[in-house]
Structure 1
């Protein structure tokens, strides 16, 4: 195993603005957040050798490993004053992310976003999920309670996600999919003016492609449910971070009062196409036209195909 399987320049391209436009994590977060989150201040500091053997590190829990690495580099970290620290390992150790972990540097303790990526996590599909944990996101679910069950979401990627491996240069490896509408709403990236608030019945209602904010119209339809829950309808197109998907489709989620979202009607939900209808809890949803970057739906209405 090489001591340095990838050069620091590779990780600059993957994680910082040096890789802008090259399909790395910089592009992922800018595009998924509609420009509200960027990695402009991120830096890569190079490879460092820890004063421990591999066998010694393997006996430790995951966050102790992360702490060992950070403390070995504490003088530089103190100068940089980062909000988060991503540790890159040159072997297969463990890959994970945490939104807030205490670390003492130069006698001062504060909480940091903590991400650790071993050799199997050096591609956008996995790194995006672990960074998502660092930003406070949990794994996504499918109805009724299947963790990692949302094939349309980065926070289920690798297990259930529609991922792909493009012939890019640099070759970052496996990518996709993007993030679901409930997550983008929770993060504040989808503003209220891009949400169509629907009563228990509405339509025909337009929803534009989730990754096409340049198209006028709502990015998500929100429908009230029982007990403080609500439902979202989004439209995903087979391109960009979603090009591993089998085709364009409307996607439905139930968002519980706790904020947890569930892919409906369940794991690996079908690709819903124009002219189809289906039942989700008490909702009857009919799909109308899928027209480029927009879709039209009816919710709890008599058959309305002729009105699209």
Structure 2
């Protein structure tokens, strides 16, 4: 039987073996008196209105299992993440959930023992590891037609934007959604046929849809979707529609939302990608693209400062959409690109553009790393540094390395041209690496940008990386194992450069600590050392 390896270097057995594994898991769960329920997994990400970090509300994640009968079962998001491994890869997909046997209650929601995919996509090409967790998200490709539904509350008459404004958001000119998603996906998706409709009057005032839960507002997302889509249904042909962007003329609960939802459209019940946008969201393209990203199944990214604010990584619109953003006179803040991990999640990174360095690698090599924004690249754009498997598989991580530059219609306001590194946890979140100690609150600092002459290594020092120089399309890197320990300065890693490559900035510079290094001995974590002599792993241990 054929096997392949996932991006973390683990062996995955497709086909019948995986199907039998699911069958065995279901049988074992039944024998243990656990309850198995199948349905669609809906994830709803709540993103707060822009504010200072100290005043901003926390990000929210709601997980719901919708059964075939329409019953909605709220899932504890923390339990669901652990039970699934990569919960985000299952967004908007059919899953089987094992609820623990009675007596194992862990929260107000029912305790979850496991979540596995159960849809046709998985049955056709299963990809799970030995513990039964899904290892790949559903690929998004081809036409992904969206429609905008503009809905006003019964007690709010203001219509902030015109129909033509919302229709033009889907255009294919620079700064419009059709152009943006085509560029980010390397032309693998398009929004052809997307358009807008409305304004439609909702049957109830805002207070009906947004109620109090304690001292906090809570929006009834399901009811908002049902009533808004029902108001539009007589006038809109939903055939072929994959996503719905709803625009409301009043605030919701302080959040914009993205994910998936179900409603009766054109006489049949359909589950689609859905976003819920108050005026502050649809006035700017960046937050709207962020919510659409959730509709496609993308989670948030983060940085490595260790706080609970996920909106502090300006290298990904799925984190910080406001910092280092290009301003548009019509559409407000333009969205930046997403990082390569997010692109790979949706199947947009071609195998030829990915290079995985296995855990325990003993070979030193040079890598041409092209800018992630280049659609026609023939070199590596996603470098993956695999880490050893951990006894607790949920703590296993990989590091992704990509190149970014200040250019184009969406990235020209980035903090700099640099190599950017992310730590990816097994739950699917990518954290930008910061060499500063302590790490910056927002990762648009020099510590988050690795430039020519600088060095970084993984916390276990198994992978060492040096930025040797620039090329016409990106950077030249040396990647290898930990250098041998010597009493004198380490010799340079000598690997012939590819023909036509720019010469390294410092050909004789050893792969060791130094004023321009981002890696050093563990003692350099101490306070008082120059910033560029601090080890990037200090805050990641």
Q: Shared topology, TM-score over 0.5?
A: yes
Equivalent position to 1:124, from 276, 285, 290: 285
* Number of aligned residues: 300
For residue 3 of structure 1, give the secondary structure of its aligned residue in structure 2. coil
Q: Please list, as runs of the form range in 1=range in 2, the aligned pairs for 1:50-65 lying within 5 A after superposition.
A: 50-59=202-211, 60-65=219-224
Aligned to 1:91: 250
Q: TM-score, normalised by structure 1?
A: 0.87
Shift of 1:40: 0.5
Q: 1:175 to 1:80 in 2, by over 3 A?
A: same
Distance 1:307 1:202 in 2: 16
Equivalent position to 2:180, from 5, 28, 31: 28
Shift of 1:284: 2.5
Equivalent position to 2:261, from 101, 111, 127: 101
Q: 1:189 to 1:183 in 2, by over 3 A?
A: same
Q: 1:218 to 1:7 in 2, by over 3 A?
A: same
1:52-92 CA-partner distances (Å, limit 9, x unpaired):
22333333423322322112122344554522211112233
Q: 1:256 to 1:42 in 2, by over 3 A?
A: same
Distance 1:246 1:252 in 2: 14
**Contact conserved, 1:97 with 1:133, CA < 8 A, in 2?**
yes
Distance 2:405 2:382 in 1: 14
**Contact conserved, 1:139 with 1:155, CA < 8 A, in 2?**
yes
For residue 263 of structure 2, give the secondary structure of its aligned residue in structure 1. strand
Cα RMSD (Å) of the superposition?
2.5
Shift of 1:3: 2.9
If each structure's helix is expressed as a fraction of its own residues, which one has the higher value?
A: 1
1:291 matched to 2:463: no
1:206 matched to 2:368: yes
Distance 2:384 2:508 in 1: 21
**Structure 1, unaligned runs of 5 or more:** none
Shift of 1:44: 1.2
Distance 2:387 2:407 in 1: 31
Aligned to 1:186: 345
Distance 2:403 2:450 in 1: 10
For residue 45 of structure 1, give the secondary structure of its aligned residue in structure 2. strand
For residue 178 of structure 1, give the secondary structure of its aligned residue in structure 2. coil
**Contact conserved, 2:197 with 2:236, CA < 8 A, in 1?**
no
Q: Higher relative CO (CA 8 A, sep ≥ 6), structure 1 or 2?
A: 1
Shift of 1:23: 1.0
Equivalent position to 2:272, from 109, 112, 123: 112
Distance 1:272 1:5 in 2: 43
233-242 or 43-52, which moves further after superposition? 43-52
Equivalent position to 1:9, from 164, 167, 182: 164
Aligned to 1:270: 448
**Contact conserved, 1:25 with 1:128, CA < 8 A, in 2?**
yes
**Contact conserved, 1:182 with 1:261, CA < 8 A, in 2?**
yes
1:306 matched to 2:507: yes
Q: 1:79 to 1:131 in 2, by over 3 A?
A: closer
Larger Rg: 2
For residue 182 of structure 1, give the secondary structure of its aligned residue in structure 2. helix
Shift of 1:121: 0.8
